[in-house]
Structure 1
Amino acid sequence: MKVTMVIPTYWGRKKSEGFRETDSIYDHPTPLDETGTLGRALESLSILKNKDFNLVILGVSTAQDIREEVESKISSIVKKSAPDAETLFFSYSHLTKVHQHLTQHNKESFIPLLQLDGYSNVRNLCLFSAHLSGSEVAVLIDDDEIFEDPLFMEKALEFIGKTHEDNHVLAVAGYYINPDGDFLINKEISPWMVHWNKIDCMNRAFKKVIRQGPRLKETPFVFGGNAVIHRDLFMKVPFDPLITRGEDIDFLINARMFGYKFFLDNQLSIKHEAPPKPHPEWRKVREDIYRFVFEKRKLETQEALPGMVKITAEDLGIYPGEFLKEDQEERIIRSNKMLAMDYSSKDDKKGVAECMKNIHLA
């Protein structure tokens, strides 16, 4: 079985230049003048016993004017830290050639679907890379992760493409181990989060799905940086390019709508050591609002069609289901009012104004 592992890596302007409003928003892109985590991730691949796979590194920039610098930076890291596995680097110069090929063959209509901008587009290029490699399986990993389990690939491929308890397994999710050694999120819960407590919902969902047996079970959530997807699924269901973030769970929902189940393997873990997110709380909340409002609308506008399965918020468990219910608008309003009060107590007028904008998005 031919396998392609794909690792996207996100890079932004030099730290001294900061973030510009026109830049694409990612959780924690590495500044061009820093080392980042990609080299560490690549070096950790040496622990794997099974290296019988192709490795593709996708280079992503937060801004068009730094793409050449980003491509050069990533290329040097890949050359220095490339593991034993066959490794390919793919970025904007390579994507331009793909676009040119499509144009030459009168297939320009596909060009907007193949872009290195936005989480969903990047994930689709992960799948596209596996397709170009002729692989049956795509293993999606992120650059802020560290392989610690020598048998990771054996576990990743153990169920994929096979029948398990009368289910044809075409998608397997693993999970993250945080720097403290736990899969639960151990972060301080601020008072304003009482109406938007993602941390609590996620932890309750993790305890139910990850901690409890059996080893392989259907899951309502998936981590995009630890996912195994079979060709029979990724050739039929894409990541939705219209969603700005949360593309992993959105993909799960899309798959469910087309009758495909996602399973979580509670032995398939990877260490996740992400840099701190540089964006203010109001922006993080705004990105969540975009994704959850989008998802709720997607669920509400489903049509009854042959071969399609209607999915509800209740089908999506504690997380993300709790954020897709009828009280979504109320949650957004109350949480942003409380966050605005928090900003007001610090005399942060911009923070207050941005929270008010968040409320209007509801």
Structure 2
Amino acid sequence: MNPVIVIPTFVSPRRRKDSGSVIATYDHTTPLSNPGELPRLLTSLQKVRGIGQIIVLVAAEPAISDQAAEKVQDIVSRFPSLNIAIIGADECNLVQQRMEQLGLGKLSKEIGLVGYGAIRNLGLVLANVMGFDSIVFLDDDEVIDDADFLQKGVYGLGKLTRKGVPILAKTGFYLNSEGSYLSKSQDKWYNRFWQQGKAFNKWITKAMRGPRLSRSNHVCGGCLAIHKEAFKRLSFDPWVARGEDLDYMLNLRMYGSDIWFDNQWSLRHLPPASTSEGTRFRQDIYRWLYEYRKMEYSRTQIDLMQVKPQSLEPYPGPFLEPGITKRIRITAILRSLARKDKKAYRQAAKAARTEAVMYAQRNCSKYFEFQFVWPELMARMDSDQILHTAIVQSVARRQAAANMAAAFPVAGAGAGVDPGVTSEIRLNIAE
């Protein structure tokens, strides 16, 4: 197979707790002044056999998008043995221009550099445009120790099971800082109605004892391989606040496919400490209430497979049942009494009563509307040479600017670069 590795990275002016936007609030961002975790991941990738193209998607606020791309370009320039393309706002704009030229409309909400789902969709589009037959998603806060990581990642992908079922998407698992695949769940009194970690541990313990490949109830978005036959038919959901990886599994089932768990494919997940547990739980509230409403809405559509919570035991089934709203609200209140981040938990409890409920009701049907567009979009952009060439030129321009800045640091990052190059690339697309 010919997989492309895609790594989203999130850059902010400074490390902060909350962007204010449901979609643009991330588990962790790296300040412009901080190298973050990406260099550690790239260092580990140098030891992996069979590595080809790597794409790093740089998500940042518009005000610092150029600086963020330059910062990441500076980081990857230290790894000349890796073939890395930086995709920032300029390249994302090229994708948007090409989609509009092809009559596909403006899809910046669905495909772009804001929100987990939209960012992953941009990765899928780029893999499609560049002609790759599969994609492997990593996260920037991971470390890979196995030289055969990529080989294991594509093991079985695109093949048929003994019963003739195609394996079009698969996930591995994370090892934490203690070398365990189990969740560090806290069996505290304030988590009585929110046993997410315990439910996950029950599921993965059984999956690890099973055959190498088995149908999965869980997805690690930073250890995820998707075959082209899956990603050209199915997008990620841009409206889910977080957990877009698990949501993709649910989408696959609704559209008649599945995701597989490989109990021999793993990496180490070493995220930085969370700046606000309460804010993260607020995102979970939006996530699970939205997921519940989305599943309810899907059952009204005659062309979709029925996915019921009972088929997803022990995890995530309990988080897709009607009582989820009450459980979320009670958990937020209990945590506000016992945990440090009291204000954020109180705000989360409020969101569970009002904003999150309204958000779920307002957006639960939008993914299915987008799905009518996605297969045609991917078919028309498959190996698109015009867009591919424009992206390659834009990436090369940034690399040249970085090389010039390194050679002549006093002159600045843009020294010696023709300011008309970007305009010329865009003009070529419009012709």
Preserved CA contact (<8 Å) 2:48 2:147:
yes
> How many Å apart are 1:200 and its aligned residue?
1.4
Residue-by-residue CA offset, 1:92-135 (whole Å, 9 max, x unaligned): 11111222333344433344432100000011112112112201
1:337 paired residue among 324, 333, 336: 333
Preserved CA contact (<8 Å) 1:54 1:87:
yes
> How many Å apart are 1:306 and its aligned residue?
6.2
> How many Å apart are 1:156 and its aligned residue?
1.1
The gaps in structure 2 that reach 5 residues or longer are 358-431
Residue-by-residue CA offset, 1:225-284 (whole Å, 9 max, x unaligned): 101100001000100111111101111101101110111000000111111111242x22
Residue-by-residue CA offset, 1:34-91 (whole Å, 9 max, x unaligned): 111111111111221222x321111111x2222122111111111112543x321111
Residue-by-residue CA offset, 1:289-323 (whole Å, 9 max, x unaligned): 11111111122122466663110111122221111
Tell me whether 1:79 sits opposite 2:83 in the alignment: no
Q: Which has the larger radius of gyration?
A: 2
> How many Å apart are 1:149 and its aligned residue?
0.7
Tell me whether 1:146 sits opposite 2:143 in the alignment: yes
Equivalent in the alignment of 2:56 = 57
Paired AA for residue 136 in structure 2? V
Preserved CA contact (<8 Å) 1:175 1:226:
yes
Tell me whether 1:160 sits opposite 2:162 in the alignment: no
Equivalent in the alignment of 1:285 = 281
- Hey, what's the Cα distance between the residues in 1 that align with 2:31 and 2:245? 25
- Hey, what's the Cα distance between the residues in 1 that align with 2:44 and 2:345? 43
Which residues in structure 2 correspond to 1:227-242 (within 5 Å)?
Answer: 227-242=224-239
- Hey, what's the Cα distance between the residues in 1 that align with 2:173 and 2:80? 24
> How many Å apart are 1:349 and its aligned residue?
6.9
Give the match's secondary structure for 1:43: helix
Equivalent in the alignment of 1:11 = 11
- Hey, what's the Cα distance between the residues in 2 that align with 1:125 and 1:313? 30
Preserved CA contact (<8 Å) 1:174 1:266:
yes
Which residues in structure 2 correspond to 1:124-143 (within 5 Å)?
Answer: 124-143=121-140
- Hey, what's the Cα distance between the residues in 1 that align with 2:180 and 2:312? 23
> Aligned in 2, Cα 1:184/1:67: closer, same or farther, shift over 3 Å?
same
Equivalent in the alignment of 2:204 = 206
Tell me whether 1:250 sits opposite 2:243 in the alignment: no
> How many Å apart are 1:21 and its aligned residue?
3.1
Preserved CA contact (<8 Å) 1:175 1:270:
yes
Paired AA for residue 49 in structure 2? K
- Hey, what's the Cα distance between the residues in 2 that align with 1:269 and 1:220? 16
Identity of aligned residues (%): 29
- Hey, what's the Cα distance between the residues in 2 that align with 1:39 and 1:143? 8
> Aligned in 2, Cα 1:351/1:222: closer, same or farther, shift over 3 Å?
closer
Equivalent in the alignment of 2:425 = none
Equivalent in the alignment of 2:372 = none
Counting matched residue pairs gives: 353
Mean CA deviation greater in 246-255 or 93-102: 93-102
Give the match's secondary structure for 1:9: strand
Equivalent in the alignment of 2:429 = none
> Aligned in 2, Cα 1:119/1:31: closer, same or farther, shift over 3 Å?
same
Tell me whether 1:276 sits opposite 2:256 in the alignment: no
TM-score (normalised: structure 2): 0.77
TM-score (normalised: structure 1): 0.91
- Hey, what's the Cα distance between the residues in 1 that align with 2:102 and 2:157? 34
Mean CA deviation greater in 103-112 or 6-15: 103-112
Mean CA deviation greater in 193-202 or 265-274: 193-202
Preserved CA contact (<8 Å) 1:49 1:150:
yes
> Aligned in 2, Cα 1:214/1:287: closer, same or farther, shift over 3 Å?
same
Give the match's secondary structure for 1:121: helix
Equivalent in the alignment of 1:357 = 350
Preserved CA contact (<8 Å) 2:292 2:320:
yes
Residue-by-residue CA offset, 1:201-241 (whole Å, 9 max, x unaligned): 221222122x2111110011111110110000100010011
> Aligned in 2, Cα 1:233/1:190: closer, same or farther, shift over 3 Å?
same
Give the match's secondary structure for 2:118: helix
> Aligned in 2, Cα 1:152/1:350: closer, same or farther, shift over 3 Å?
closer
> Aligned in 2, Cα 1:304/1:21: closer, same or farther, shift over 3 Å?
closer
Equivalent in the alignment of 1:172 = 170
- Hey, what's the Cα distance between the residues in 1 that align with 2:77 and 2:174? 27
- Hey, what's the Cα distance between the residues in 2 that align with 1:297 and 1:305? 13
1:318 paired residue among 311, 314, 320: 314
The gaps in structure 1 that reach 5 residues or longer are none
Equivalent in the alignment of 2:184 = 186
